[in-house]
């Protein structure tokens, strides 16, 4: 009975349509899940990059504003006595720390040693006179990404300065009319530099060739894969320059001076194109305060923002947690630029573990979703597979049924025709033989009608067209009648038959003819499937509100695997055409349909000692 197993083609189709796509989906999903946290981090990093870049830009803009403010506040100076102007400058602008004046020949005209000098001015001179006098160089910072451009810009600037229309735009951001926006050019160059390792190594190489110092950043951006790696190189490189070289080519600007961990910031302004330079040591505290004022809200649910100074110390601690945070390990950071070397705008995750738990939650949700999807695909696929398989099995069973029925029709028809022809031609003079022929013909005709009735009954039941009478029936009587009708034939066929029926009536409600048919089907099966031991027992019992009829034989029995299926339509335990016992696979199907219509049940049990037992139970009618 290989047709009860799914065919190879069907299994291949199932694998192609369900298992393979399901497995691929599963693998892809698992891979996606693994990278969930990385994706989340990447997304967050992109958001923070945009924000930090904006903060850096606002700080740089503010530095320009502060430069404008300082330049505006410095009134006209008397060369011999700049004191009062400087005093007023300092009094009106908190940014002004210690004012100074340097002559065109690089002589320090202010603070003057001969005047009464404050200790701060004294210290200032001690620290800076060699630099302001042009006798010593300091490290001047510039953006390595702008190195070649920086050379060009200096050239252009000195050209325009010589033409007398000089205006410093590196700080104020203002542009001569018609020139391409320098800020845009710079931003592009920096973006290109950041995007390419090759450009980076070229530029750093170039810086080294120009004898410029390359140093590493103050912070180590805490990306997973770079957890223990070296800090990145700073985008700023520094080379030694003296005061007049730094101030050449511009009208004003800031000069940072980093000595050890101490930062000093000078503001300077040319008083005439090739003349004196006035300026001041900037009050860094006020300068920082003004810069921090442009920061957005430093603390949100997702991130914390601050600025780290040259020593990596936060200038603003939104949570006032002090040392508890590893300030030098931000989630994202950007350097502010050449005016504030080593300063960084840094962003931290408000709650670093939230990212992991969010990733976990997201992974879990995705996993549940994918799991559900996979289960749905597999279950759906399995149901379709089973339905298709059932249809195939049914189709195969129908084919076998048709073959069986044709065979069943052909055998009696052949013998009827044979005997009829012999009688017609008068070839059999023996009256006993003639009678035998006629008897056989009658029996075969009966068999034919039974077969046809079975098929017709089945189709009526299938279409729900079979109707039943509902009358009070004595089941004991029905059983006796069927038994008597069949006994002679069975005994002739060598069966020993036993009938056990109670004396009193066994009333049930139903259709006596239909119930007879159930019994006939069961008895004829008992007859058909018995071999050497030919015993049939028919018993009726009453009890527990139910009437039970058992039909038992000592025949071949039903193989264990087939026991569940014998009531299915067209099913035969041995359906080969060569099978000795012929049948349609409909007898039990019809019997069970009738019993169910009578609110009863029909079940098979293997019989101890060999053989089969069919038990029919019907509700007992109360008198």
Phi and psi for 540 in degrees, rounded to 5?
A: -115, 135
CA-to-CA distance for 512 and 478, rounded, in angstroms? 7
**Residue of closest CB approach to ligand ADP:** 583
In the chain, % helix, strand, coil (3-state, to 5) comes to 50, 20, 30
Smallest distance, Å, CB 532 to ligand ADP? 14
CA-to-CA distance for 479 and 512, rounded, in angstroms? 10
Query: Alpha helix locations (H) across 110-222?
Result: 119-132, 147-162, 182-195, 197-209
Identify the H or E element spanning 241.
Answer: strand 233-241
The total number of residues shown for the chain amounts to: 623
Instruction: Give the residues lining the site for ligand ADP (CB under 6 A).
Output: 521, 525-526, 528-529, 553, 555-558, 566, 571-574, 583-589, 612
Smallest distance, Å, CB 3 to ligand ADP? 15
Cα three-residue angle 34-36-39, rounded to 5 degrees: 125
Looking at beta carbons only, is 143 or 612 nearer to ligand ADP?
612
Smallest distance, Å, CB 611 to ligand ADP? 7
Looking at beta carbons only, is 97 or 600 nearer to ligand ADP?
600
Q: Is-contact 76 85, C-beta < 8 A?
A: yes
Cα three-residue angle 587-413-492, rounded to 5 degrees: 60
Q: Is-contact 170 253, C-beta < 8 A?
A: yes
Q: Is-contact 576 583, C-beta < 8 A?
A: no
Smallest distance, Å, CB 584 to ligand ADP? 5
Looking at beta carbons only, is 344 or 527 nearer to ligand ADP?
527
Looking at beta carbons only, is 306 or 584 nearer to ligand ADP?
584
Looking at beta carbons only, is 269 or 572 nearer to ligand ADP?
572
Smallest distance, Å, CB 383 to ligand ADP? 27
Smallest distance, Å, CB 546 to ligand ADP? 22
Smallest distance, Å, CB 576 to ligand ADP? 11
**What tokens were used for 584?**
């349609």
Looking at beta carbons only, is 280 or 526 nearer to ligand ADP?
526
Smallest distance, Å, CB 574 to ligand ADP? 6
Smallest distance, Å, CB 565 to ligand ADP? 8
> What's the distance, Cα to Cα, between the start and end of the chain in Å?
49
CA-to-CA distance for 472 and 475, rounded, in angstroms? 9
Smallest distance, Å, CB 619 to ligand ADP? 24
Q: Is-contact 370 25, C-beta < 8 A?
A: yes
State the residue for tokens 């149901």: 383
Looking at beta carbons only, is 290 or 534 nearer to ligand ADP?
534
Smallest distance, Å, CB 380 to ligand ADP? 33
State the residue for tokens 């600007």: 253
Looking at beta carbons only, is 298 or 557 nearer to ligand ADP?
557
Looking at beta carbons only, is 346 or 404 nearer to ligand ADP?
404
Looking at beta carbons only, is 131 or 604 nearer to ligand ADP?
604
State the residue for tokens 């992991």: 356
309: closest CA among 348, 335, 342, 284?
342
Identify the H or E element spanning 11.
Answer: helix 8-14
Residues 6+ apart with CB under 8 A from 71: 252, 269
Looking at beta carbons only, is 234 or 589 nearer to ligand ADP?
589
CA-to-CA distance for 454 and 561, rounded, in angstroms? 26
**What tokens were used for 433?**
């033989």
């Amino acid at each position: 009975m290989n047709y009860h197993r799914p065919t190879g083609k069907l299994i291949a189709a199932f694998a192609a349509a369900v298992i393979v796509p399901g497995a691929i989906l599963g693998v892809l999903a698992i891979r996606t899940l693994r990278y969930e946290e990385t994706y989340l981090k990447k997304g967050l990093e992109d958001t923070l990059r945009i924000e930090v870049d904006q903060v850096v830009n606002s700080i740089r803009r503010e530095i320009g504003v502060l430069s404008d403010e300082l330049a505006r506040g410095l009134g006209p100076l008397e060369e011999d006595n700049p004191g009062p102007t400087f005093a007023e400058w300092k009094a009106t602008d908190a940014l002004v720390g210690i004012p100074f004046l340097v002559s065109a020949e690089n002589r320090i005209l202010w603070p003057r040693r001969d005047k009464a000098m404050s200790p701060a001015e004294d210290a200032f001179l001690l620290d800076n006179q060699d630099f302001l006098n042009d006798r010593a160089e300091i490290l001047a910072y510039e953006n390595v990404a702008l190195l070649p451009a920086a050379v060009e810009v200096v050239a252009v600037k000195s050209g325009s300065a010589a033409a007398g229309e000089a205006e410093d735009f590196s700080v104020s951001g203002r542009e001569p009319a018609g020139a391409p926006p320098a800020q845009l050019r710079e931003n592009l160059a920096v973006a290109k530099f950041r995007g390419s390792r090759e450009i980076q190594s070229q530029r750093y190489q170039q810086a080294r060739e120009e004898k410029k110092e390359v140093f590493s950043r103050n912070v180590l951006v805490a990306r997973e894969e770079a957890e223990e790696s070296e800090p990145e190189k700073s985008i700023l490189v520094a080379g030694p320059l003296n005061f007049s070289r730094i101030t050449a080519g511009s009208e004003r600007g800031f000069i940072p001076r980093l000595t050890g961990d101490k930062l000093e910031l000078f503001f300077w302004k040319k008083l005439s194109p090739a003349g004196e330079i006035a300026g001041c040591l900037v009050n860094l505290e006020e300068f920082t305060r003004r810069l921090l004022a442009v920061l957005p809200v430093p603390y949100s649910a997702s991130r914390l923002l601050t600025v780290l100074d040259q020593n990596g110390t936060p200038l603003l601690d939104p949570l006032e947690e002090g040392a508890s945070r590893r300030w030098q390990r931000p989630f994202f950071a950007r350097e502010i630029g050449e005016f504030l070397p080593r300063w960084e705008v840094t962003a931290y995750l408000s709650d670093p573990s939230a990212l992991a738990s969010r990733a976990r939650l997201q992974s879990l949700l995705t996993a549940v979703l994918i799991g559900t999807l996979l289960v749905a695909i597999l279950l759906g696929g399995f149901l379709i597979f089973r339905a298709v398989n059932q249809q195939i099995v049914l189709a195969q069973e129908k084919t076998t049924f048709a073959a069986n029925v044709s065979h069943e029709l052909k055998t009696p028809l052949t013998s009827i025709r044979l005997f009829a022809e012999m009688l017609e031609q008068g070839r059999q003079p023996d009256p006993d033989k003639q009678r035998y022929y006629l008897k056989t013909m009658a029996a075969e005709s009966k068999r034919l009608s039974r077969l046809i009735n079975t098929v017709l009954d089945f189709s009526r039941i299938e279409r729900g067209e079979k109707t039943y009478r509902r009358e009070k029936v004595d089941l004991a009587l029905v059983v006796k009648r069927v038994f008597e009708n069949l006994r002679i034939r069975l005994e002739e066929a060598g069966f020993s038959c036993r009938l056990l029926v109670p004396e009193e009536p066994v009333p049930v409600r139903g259709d006596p003819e239909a119930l007879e048919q159930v019994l006939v089907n069961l008895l004829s099966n008992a007859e058909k499937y018995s071999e050497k031991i030919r015993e049939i027992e028919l018993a009726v019992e009453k009890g527990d509100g139910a009437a039970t009829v058992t039909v038992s034989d000592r025949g071949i029995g039903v193989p264990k695997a087939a026991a569940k299926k014998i009531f299915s339509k067209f099913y035969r335990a041995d359906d080969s055409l060569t099978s000795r016992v012929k049948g349609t696979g409909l007898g039990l199907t019809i019997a069970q349909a009738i019993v169910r219509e009578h609110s009863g049940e029909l079940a098979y049990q293997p019989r101890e000692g060999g053989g089969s037992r069919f038990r029919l139970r019907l509700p007992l009618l109360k008198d």
